[in-house]
C-alpha cells in the first residue's frame, strides 16, 4: 500500500507517518460541518453577518416610506416603525432625521406623515416592487411565495430608467400578479372595485381579483389551497367560523380571517357565469373526455403562450393518454398529439366534462 | 396567375433530374436562400439531408435540432442555400428555445420558406403555417410523413388544402425520398416567380381586434410603404413585442 | 428612418392595446386555431383520431407503467452496455494488432532508414503516433458500438418516454423534465448534451442542465470504466461471474452519475440557482421503426470520424507533451517524475496516486487518453521493463499486460474503484468546457461547471479511501 515510501521528500514522509484514516475522516467531517454552518442557504452565519453590514440609509428610508404609504389612514410613530421593520431604534431615528431634512416626512405631534414629495417617492417604490413581482411571475420560475421577498430587495436597487425598461418589457402592465394595481410613472393607479370574500352572502357568485400577499402566513395558507386569481367562486356557507365556497370543481373551506385577504368582484351578468361543470384539468379521470374551456388568468406570460401554442385552446377536445408511474406529469391527448404536463400547469387549464 | 395545387404526378414530368446537384456544405454564391421551418419533429432535417446530401442529425423527438444548419443544392443552373432550422410551435412567443428559428424566419429574409408539416397532425401544425403565411408570401408546404398518414388512414385533399392556404402543397415521405423531386421543382418555381402565392390571412379574429389591427397596420403602411407584412407587425406591436420595436427602429424591415 | 414616426406608431399601438384589453393573445391564438380547424375540415377526408387503439399507445402503457417503466429503462441501459463490452473486444484486438504490431515497427524502421536522431523519432513515433494509435485501438470500438445503439433508441422514440418517466424526480430536484433528454445525449457526448439544453426554455433550469451534464458518463469515459472493471473488479470474483460483475460495476458507476446529477441539480436549485420549477411540457412523438442500417451506418461513420479527429487534435499533442515531460530533466529527475512526486501525497490521501493525478492533468483536453497516459507514466516511475524507454506508450494488446503494469504501479482494488469514481467525477473535457462557455457566455458558470465535479470527485474518493482503509484494510 505505501508504495511511494521509497521516494524522498519531507512532506511525503510527514503524510505517511502521521496519517491515520480515522483522523483524516474526522477532520474532514468537522471542516464540512463548519462550512455548512457558515454558508448554508439563508440561515448560514456568513449570510447573517453580511446582511447586518449591508443595511444602508437608502433602504431604511425607503422601507419607512413604504410603511407610511401603506398605512396612511393610521397613526404611526417611531415605536410602530421599529416593530414593523425590525431595524434598531438608532437606525430608524437617524433615517427619519434624514427624511425630515429631505422634506419627505414631517411630524404631526408624535406621529409621522408623508409630505407630497414623500408620497410620490413611496408610490415610485410601490411601482417598482409590483413591476418586479410581475416580472418574477411572468419571466422566472420563482415560486409565488418568494416573489415578495425578492421584489423587496430589488425595489431598492432599481432606478427610474431600469423601471421604465422593466415596465415596457412587460408591456406596461396594469396589475401585479396578486391583482394589485401598478402605479404608472405619473402616479395614476387603477381603481379596484372589490370586496373581501368574507363579506359575500351565501349564493353570491364572484371572481377572485386580488390575493393579498401580506401577512405572509395567511398568504402561504391561501397558496397551499391552490386558489387562483381569475377563478369564479360561489359561496356555499359564510359564518363566523368559516367561509365555504365552490370553485372550479372543488370545495374550499377557509377561516374568515383568511378569506378576508381574498378580494372578489361580484359577477351578476348571467352570460359571464360559468356553468358548474367547469373544472380544472387535474380533475379529469382516465377514460373521460372533456372540452377545454380556457386557461386560468393564473397562468401568465410565456408559459401561458406556450400552452396556447400547444393547442390547449378553448373548444379543443382533451383526454388523458398516459398516467405516470409517480402520478405526475400526466400525458394528455389534444389535437392529435400526446403532450405531458405537470399538475401545477394542468391545474390552470379549465375544462368542461360532457 | 392562379395557384397551382401540386400533386405527385403533376410535377414528375417537369422535374429535370439531370439539373439537380447536391452541393453539401458549399454555400458560396447562392442565388436563393431557402428556409426549412416547421413544428418540432416533422422531418425538417430529413428533408434537408435529402436535398443537400448532408448528414444532419435526425432523431425521433422534438428538439433534436437546436442550431441552424446550412447546406446547398443546385437545380437548373440556380444555386439554393438551404437553412435547416430548429422546430418551433409558434412565432408569437418570446421563449428562448425558439429564438433561433423565429429570428431567421422574421429577419433572415429567405427567398422561399418551406414549411414542413406532419400530415398526421395537420391541424396543430397549421397554427405555425398560418403565422408564417402572415409574414411571407413565398412559401411551400411540404406535407411530410405521408407514409404514416396512409397507415393511419388519413386522407388529405391536397388540392383543397393548397387552395385554402394559397400556396403550393407537396406531399412527401422524406425518409424514403418520396416527393423530393416535386419539392425541388416547386421551390424553384416559387423562387423564380413562376408560381405566385396568395397566402391565407387569419380570419377568425374578434371584431375589435381586427379593427385595431387594421388601424395600426394602415399607419405602419403609411410610414413604411415598403414593408410587406405590416399586418404581422401590427399583431406584434399590439402585444408589445420589444424585439419587433427594436427591429423597426433599426430599420431591419425595410 | 425617422425615429419620430416609429414613436408615433408605438404610441398608437399602446393606446389600442388599452382598448382591446388583456386577452389579445388568447383571442389571436384561438382565432388561428379556428382558421386551422376550418381548413382541416375541408381538406382531411378521413380523420382517424382514436389513438387508444393503436400500437403506440399499447407500447406506451407498458414502458411508462408503474411496474415495468423503470425496470425496462434500466434493462435497456444494461443491454446497451453489455453489447458494447462484448462487442468491443474483437475490433479492439484487431486494431491494436495492426496499429501497434504492424504499423509502428514500420514507422520505426522508416525513421531509422532516414537517420532520424533518437529524440525526433521518439517524439514523433513514441509520443505522437502512439497516443493516437492507443485512442483509436482502445477507445474507438466501444464508442462505435455504443453510439449507434443509442441512436437507434433515439430514432425509435424512446427518449421522450424516459423524460416522461423521470420528470417527477427532476421536478423534485428543481429541474426541468427535458433535462432527461439532455442527460441522455450526454451519455453520447457531454458537449452535445450541453448544446441540447437549448430545448429547455427557462434560463435557470437550463443552467442546471448545463452544469450537471458532466455527470452523464460520456462515451469517451466508458472504455476506461470497462477496462478497469474488467481488470480489477471482475478479478475478485470467480471467472464464471467476472463478466457479469464487471458489467454491474460499470452500470453502477453510470447510475451513480445519474444520482449525482439529481443531487447536484437539487443542491443548485436550493442555493446558487434558487427558484421553483417553471413550466414543463413535453410532446411524446409516435414510435417509428428506426431506419436500421442507415442509422447504424451513419452513426458509425460519424463517431469514427469524430474519434479520429479528436485523436489527432487532442491525443497527438498530449502524446507529445507526455513524451516531453518524461524526457526533459530538471536536476536528476524528469519533469514528470517531479510532478508525480509532488502529487503523490495528495493522491494517496484520496486513494489515488501522483501518476493518476498527473494523467488527469495532461488529459484535460480529452478523456480518451487518461488510461494510456497512466500506463506510460507508471512505467516511467516504476522503472518496469515493459516499455521501450521514457514516455513511450508500449504495445498493450492484452488486458493482462495492462493489469500487470498497473499492479506493479501499486494499484489495488481501492485504486481502481477510485479511478472509476474519479473518471465519473472530474472536470469536463476541453471541448465541453468550451461549449459551456459558448452556451452560457459566462466565465462564472463555466468555471463553476468545470470545478464543481472535481471537488465532488475529491470528496467522494477521499471518503471512500478513508472508509476502505478503516474497514477493509
Ligand atoms: N416514416 C417516416 N419517418 C420520417 C419521415 N421523415 C422523417 N421521419 C422521421 O421523423 C423523425 C424526425 O425527423 P427529423 O428530420 O429529425 O425532424 P425535425 O423536424 O428536424 O425535428 P427537430 O429538429 O426536432 O425540429 C426521425 O426519426 C425521422 O427518421 C418520413 O417521411 N416518414
Ligand atoms: Mg431537425
Q: What does the pLDDT look like over C99-115, one tens digit per residue?
A: 878 888 898 888 889 88
pLDDT at position A16 is 58
Order of strands, sheet of A250-254, starting from the edge strand that comes earlier in the sequence: A195-196, A262-266, A205-211, A232-238, A243-247, A250-254
Using CA positions, which residue lies closest to atom 32 of ligand 1?
B145
pLDDT in tens, A335-344: 889 999 999 8
Residue A1 pLDDT exceeds 50: no
Model confidence, pTM: 0.86
Residue B1 pLDDT exceeds 60: no
pLDDT in tens, A307-331: 999 999 988 999 999 999 888 899 9
Report the length, in residues, of chain A. Answer: 354
pLDDT at position C423 is 93
Choosing among A169, A272, A342, which should be mutated to test the C contact, i.e. which has the most C CBs within 10 A?
Answer: A342
CA distance C304 to chain B (A): 14
pLDDT at position C345 is 87
CB contact under 8 A, B239 and A336: no
A350: β partners: A280, A294
pLDDT at position A3 is 39
**Ligand 2 center–CA C222 separation, angstroms:** 28
ipTM reported for the complex, 2 dp: 0.90
Residue A247 pLDDT exceeds 50: yes
CA distance B92 to chain A (A): 8
Residue C91 pLDDT exceeds 60: yes
DSSP string, A157-181: H--HHHHHHHHHHTT--SB-TTSPB
The reply to whether A80 touches chain C by the CB within 8 Å rule is: no
pLDDT in tens, C162-199: 999 999 999 999 999 999 999 998 988 899 899 999 99
Kindly identify which residue of chain A lies nearest to residue B127, measuring between CA atoms.
A309
Across residues C213-220, what is the average pLDDT? 90
Across residues B73-99, what is the average pLDDT? 89
CB contact under 8 A, A141 and C204: yes
pLDDT in tens, A105-124: 888 777 888 888 888 888 88
Report chain C's mean pLDDT, rounded to a whole number: 85
Return the CATH class of domain A278-353: mainly beta
**Ligand 1 center–CA C197 separation, angstroms:** 20
B 215-244 → C contacts, CB under 8 A: 215-216, 219-220, 223, 234-235, 237-240
Chain B CB contacts of C33 under 8 Å are: 123, 127
CB contact under 8 A, A306 and B92: no
Which residues, 6+ apart, have CB-to-CB distance to A223 below 8 Å? A144, A145
Q: Which of B36, B37, B40, B43 has most ligand 1 atoms within 8 Å of its beta carbon, as the pocket-test mutant? A: B43
pLDDT in tens, C365-421: 777 788 888 887 887 777 665 545 555 555 555 566 778 888 888 899 999 999 999
Residue A8 pLDDT exceeds 60: no
pLDDT in tens, C26-44: 889 999 999 999 998 888 8
pLDDT in tens, B181-225: 999 999 999 999 999 889 998 988 888 889 999 999 998 888 888
pLDDT at position C16 is 85
Higher-pLDDT residue of C114, B1: C114
Residue A4 pLDDT exceeds 50: no
Residue A292 pLDDT exceeds 90: yes
Please report the number of interchain residue pairs, chain A to chain C, with beta-carbon separation below 8 angstroms. 164
pLDDT in tens, A119-170: 888 888 888 888 888 888 877 767 777 788 888 888 888 888 888 888 877 7
The answer as to CATH 2.30.30.90 being correct for domain A195-272 is yes
Longest dimension (CA), chain B: 54
Chain B CB contacts of C9 under 8 Å are: 216, 219-220, 223, 237, 248
**Nearest-angstrom CA–CA distance, A302 and A140:** 10
Choosing among A331, A336, A340, which should be mutated to test the B contact, i.e. which has the most B CBs within 10 A?
Answer: A336
pLDDT in tens, B6-21: 444 444 556 777 788 8
Residues near ligand 1 (Cβ within 6 A): B 38, 40-46, 58-60, 62-65, 86-87, 144-145, 147-148, 173-175; C 155, 288, 291
Chain centre to alpha carbon of residue C357: 19
Which residues, 6+ apart, have CB-to-CB distance to C457 below 8 Å? C421, C422, C424, C425, C426
Q: Do domains A195-272 and A278-353 have the same CATH topology?
A: yes
From the list A267, A268, A236, the residue with the least C-alpha distance to A253 is A236
The ligand 1 atom nearest the CA atom of B40 = 25
**Nearest-angstrom CA–CA distance, C156 and C291:** 9
Report chain B's mean pLDDT, rounded to a whole number: 87
Nearest by CB to residue A340, choosing from C70, C277, C284, is C284
Going from N- to C-terminal start, the domains of chain A cover 55-114, 195-272, 278-353
CB contact under 8 A, B238 and C178: no
pLDDT in tens, C315-366: 788 878 888 888 888 888 888 888 988 898 899 999 999 999 999 988 887 7
Nearest by CB to residue A329, choosing from C164, C202, C341, is C164
Residue C459 pLDDT exceeds 90: yes
Across residues B39-47, what is the average pLDDT? 95
Choosing among C280, C354, C377, which should be mutated to test the A contact, i.e. which has the most A CBs within 10 A?
Answer: C280
Phi, psi of A162 (to 5 degrees): -60, -40
Write down the residue that cell numbers 393579498 correspond to. A212
CB A267, CB A232: distance < 8 Å: yes
Which range among A9-18, A58-67, A269-278, C439-448 shows the weakest confidence by mean pLDDT? A9-18
**Nearest-angstrom CA–CA distance, C402 and C375:** 7
The ligand 1 atom nearest the CA atom of B84 = 20
pLDDT at position B97 is 82
The answer as to CATH 1.10.10 being correct for domain A55-114 is yes
Instruction: Write out the residues surrounding ion ligand 2, Cβ under 5 A.
Output: B 44-45, 64-65
Across residues B33-56, what is the average pLDDT? 93
Residue A32 pLDDT exceeds 70: yes
CB contact under 8 A, C44 and B155: yes
B225 to each of A217, B217, C15, how far by Cα in Å?
Answer: 58, 11, 22
The reply to whether B92 touches chain A by the CB within 8 Å rule is: yes
Amino acid at each position: 500500500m505505501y508504495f511511494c515510501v521509497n521516494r524522498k521528500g519531507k512532506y511525503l514522509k510527514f503524510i505517511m507517518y502521521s496519517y491515520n484514516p480515522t483522523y483524516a475522516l474526522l477532520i474532514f467531517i468537522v471542516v464540512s460541518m463548519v462550512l455548512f454552518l457558515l454558508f448554508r442557504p439563508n440561515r448560514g452565519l456568513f449570510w447573517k453577518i453580511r446582511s447586518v453590514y449591508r443595511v444602508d440609509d437608502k433602504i431604511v428610508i425607503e422601507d419607512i416610506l413604504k410603511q407610511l404609504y401603506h398605512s396612511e389612514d393610521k397613526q404611526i410613530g417611531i415605536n410602530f416603525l421599529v416593530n414593523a421593520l425590525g431595524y434598531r431604534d438608532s437606525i430608524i431615528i437617524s433615517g427619519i432625521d434624514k427624511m425630515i431634512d429631505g422634506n419627505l416626512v414631517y411630524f404631526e405631534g408624535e406621529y409621522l406623515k408623508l409630505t407630497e414629495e414623500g408620497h410620490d417617492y413611496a408610490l415610485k417604490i410601490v411601482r417598482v416592487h409590483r413591476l418586479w413581482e410581475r416580472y418574477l411571475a411572468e419571466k422566472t420560475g420563482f415560486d409565488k411565495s418568494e416573489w415578495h421577498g425578492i421584489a423587496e430587495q430589488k425595489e431598492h436597487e432599481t432606478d427610474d430608467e431600469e423601471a421604465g425598461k422593466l415596465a415596457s418589457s412587460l408591456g406596461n402592465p396594469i396589475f401585479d400578479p396578486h391583482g394589485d394595481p401598478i402605479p404608472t410613472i405619473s402616479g395614476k393607479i387603477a381603481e379596484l372595485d372589490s370586496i373581501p370574500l368574507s363579506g359575500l352572502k351565501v349564493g353570491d357568485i364572484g371572481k377572485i381579483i386580488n390575493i393579498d400577499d401580506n401577512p405572509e402566513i395567511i398568504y402561504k395558507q391561501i397558496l397551499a389551497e391552490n386558489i387562483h386569481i381569475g377563478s369564479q367562486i360561489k359561496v356555499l356557507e359564510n359564518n363566523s367560523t368559516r367561509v365555504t365556497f365552490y370553485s372550479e370543481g372543488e370545495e374550499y373551506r377557509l377561516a374568515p380571517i383568511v378569506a378576508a385577504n381574498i378580494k372578489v368582484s361580484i359577477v351578476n351578468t348571467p352570460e359571464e357565469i360559468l356553468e358548474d361543470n367547469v373544472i380544472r384539468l387535474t380533475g379529469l379521470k382516465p377514460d373521460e373526455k372533456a372540452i377545454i374551456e380556457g386557461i386560468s388568468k393564473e397562468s401568465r406570460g410565456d408559459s401561458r403562450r406556450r400552452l396556447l401554442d400547444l393547442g390547449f385552446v378553448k373548444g379543443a377536445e382533451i383526454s388523458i393518454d398516459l398516467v405516470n408511474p409517480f402520478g405526475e406529469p400526466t400525458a394528455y391527448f389534444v389535437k392529435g398529439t400526446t403532450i405531458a404536463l405537470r399538475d401545477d400547469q394542468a391545474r390552470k387549464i379549465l375544462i368542461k366534462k360532457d | 396567375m392562379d395557384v397551382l395545387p401540386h400533386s405527385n404526378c403533376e410535377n414528375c414530368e417537369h422535374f429535370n433530374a439531370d439539373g439537380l446537384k447536391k452541393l453539401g456544405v458549399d454555400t458560396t454564391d447562392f442565388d436563393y436562400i431557402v428556409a426549412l421551418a416547421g413544428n418540432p419533429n416533422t422531418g425538417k432535417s430529413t428533408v434537408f439531408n435529402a436535398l443537400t446530401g448532408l448528414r444532419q442529425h435526425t432523431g425521433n423527438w422534438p428538439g433534436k435540432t437546436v442550431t441552424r444548419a446550412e447546406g446547398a443544392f443546385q437545380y437548373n443552373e440556380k444555386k439554393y442555400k438551404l437553412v435547416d432550422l430548429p422546430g418551433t410551435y409558434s412565432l408569437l412567443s418570446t421563449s428562448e428555445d425558439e429564438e433561433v428559428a423565429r429570428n431567421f424566419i422574421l429577419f433572415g429574409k429567405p427567398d422561399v420558406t418551406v414549411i414542413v408539416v406532419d400530415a398526421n397532425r395537420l391541424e396543430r401544425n397549421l397554427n405555425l403555417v398560418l403565422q408564417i403565411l402572415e409574414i411571407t408570401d413565398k412559401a411551400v408546404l411540404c406535407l411530410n410523413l405521408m407514409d404514416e398518414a396512409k397507415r393511419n388512414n388519413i386522407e388529405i385533399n391536397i388540392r383543397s388544402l393548397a387552395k385554402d392556404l394559397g400556396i403550393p402543397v407537396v406531399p412527401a415521405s422524406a425518409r424514403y425520398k418520396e416527393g423530393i423531386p416535386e419539392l425541388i421543382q416547386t421551390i424553384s418555381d416559387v423562387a423564380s416567380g413562376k408560381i405566385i402565392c396568395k397566402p391565407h390571412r387569419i380570419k377568425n379574429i374578434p371584431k375589435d381586434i381586427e379593427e385595431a389591427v387594421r388601424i395600426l397596420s394602415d399607419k405602419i403602411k403609411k410610414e413604411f410603404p415598403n414593408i410587406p407584412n405590416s399586418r404581422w407587425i401590427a399583431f406584434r406591436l399590439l402585444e408589445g413585442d420589444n424585439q419587433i420595436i427594436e427591429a423597426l427602429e433599426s430599420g431591419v424591415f425595410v | 428612418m425617422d425615429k419620430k414616426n416609429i414613436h408615433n406608431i408605438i404610441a398608437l399601438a399602446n393606446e389600442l392595446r388599452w382598448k382591446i384589453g388583456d386577452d389579445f393573445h388568447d383571442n389571436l391564438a384561438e382565432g388561428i386555431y379556428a382558421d386551422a380547424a376550418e381548413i382541416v375540415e375541408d381538406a382531411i377526408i378521413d380523420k382517424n383520431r382514436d389513438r387508444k387503439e393503436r400500437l403506440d399507445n399499447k407500447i406506451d402503457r407498458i414502458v411508462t407503467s408503474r411496474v415495468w417503466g423503470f425496470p425496462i429503462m434500466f434493462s435497456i441501459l444494461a443491454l446497451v452496455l453489455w453489447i458494447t463490452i462484448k462487442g468491443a473486444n474483437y475490433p479492439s484486438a484487431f486494431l491494436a494488432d495492426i496499429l501497434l504490431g504492424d504499423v509502428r515497427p514500420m514507422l520505426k524502421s522508416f525513421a531509422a532508414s532516414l537517420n532520424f536522431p533518437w529524440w525526433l523519432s521518439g517524439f514523433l513515433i513514441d509520443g505522437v503516433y502512439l497516443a493516437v494509435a492507443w485512442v483509436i485501438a482502445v477507445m474507438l470500438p466501444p464508442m462505435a458500438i455504443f453510439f449507434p445503439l443509442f441512436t437507434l433508441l433515439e430514432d425509435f422514440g424512446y427518449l421522450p418516454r424516459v423524460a416522461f418517466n423521470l420528470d417527477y424526480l427532476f421536478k423534485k430536484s428543481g429541474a426541468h423534465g427535458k433535462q432527461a433528454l439532455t442527460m441522455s445525449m450526454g451519455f453520447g457526448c457531454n458537449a452535445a448534451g450541453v448544446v441540447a439544453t437549448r430545448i429547455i426554455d427557462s434560463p435557470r433550469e437550463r443552467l442546471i442542465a448545463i452544469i450537471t451534464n458532466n455527470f452523464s458518463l460520456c462515451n469517451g469515459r466508458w472504455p476506461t470504466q470497462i477496462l478497469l472493471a474488467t481488470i480489477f473488479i471482475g478479478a475478485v470474483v470467480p471467472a464464471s461471474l467476472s463478466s457479469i460483475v464487471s458489467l454491474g460495476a460499470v452500470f453502477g458507476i453510470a447510475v451513480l452519475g445519474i444520482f449525482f446529477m439529481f443531487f447536484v441539480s437539487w443542491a443548485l436549485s436550493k442555493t446558487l440557482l434558487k427558484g421553483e420549477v417553471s413550466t414543463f411540457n413535453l410532446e411524446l412523438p409516435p414510435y417509428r421503426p428506426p431506419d436500421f442500417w442507415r442509422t447504424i451506418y451513419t452513426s458509425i461513420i460519424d463517431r469514427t470520424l469524430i474519434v479520429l479527429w479528436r485523436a489527432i487534435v487532442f491525443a497527438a499533442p498530449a502524446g507529445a507533451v507526455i513524451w516531453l515531460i518524461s524526457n526533459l530533466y530538471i536536476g536528476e529527475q524528469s519533469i514528470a517524475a517531479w510532478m508525480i512526486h509532488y502529487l503523490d501525497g495528495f493522491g494517496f490521501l484520496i486513494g489515488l496516486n501522483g501518476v493518476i493525478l498527473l494523467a488527469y492533468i495532461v488529459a484535460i483536453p480529452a478523456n480518451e487518453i487518461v488510461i494510456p497516459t497512466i500506463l506510460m507514466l507508471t512505467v516511467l516511475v516504476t522503472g518496469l521493463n515493459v516499455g521501450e524507454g521514457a514516455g513511450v506508450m508500449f504495445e498493450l494488446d492484452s488486458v493482462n499486460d495492462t493489469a500487470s503494469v498497473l499492479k506493479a504501479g501499486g494499484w489495488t482494488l481501492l485504486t481502481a474503484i477510485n479511478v472509476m469514481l474519479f473518471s465519473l467525477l472530474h472536470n469536463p473535457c476541453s471541448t465541453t468546457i468550451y461549449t459551456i462557455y459558448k452556451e452560457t457566455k459566462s466565465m462564472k458558470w463555466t468555471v463553476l461547471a468545470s470545478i464543481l465535479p472535481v471537488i465532488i470527485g475529491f470528496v467522494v474518493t477521499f471518503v471512500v479511501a478513508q472508509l476502505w482503509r478503516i474497514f477493509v484494510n
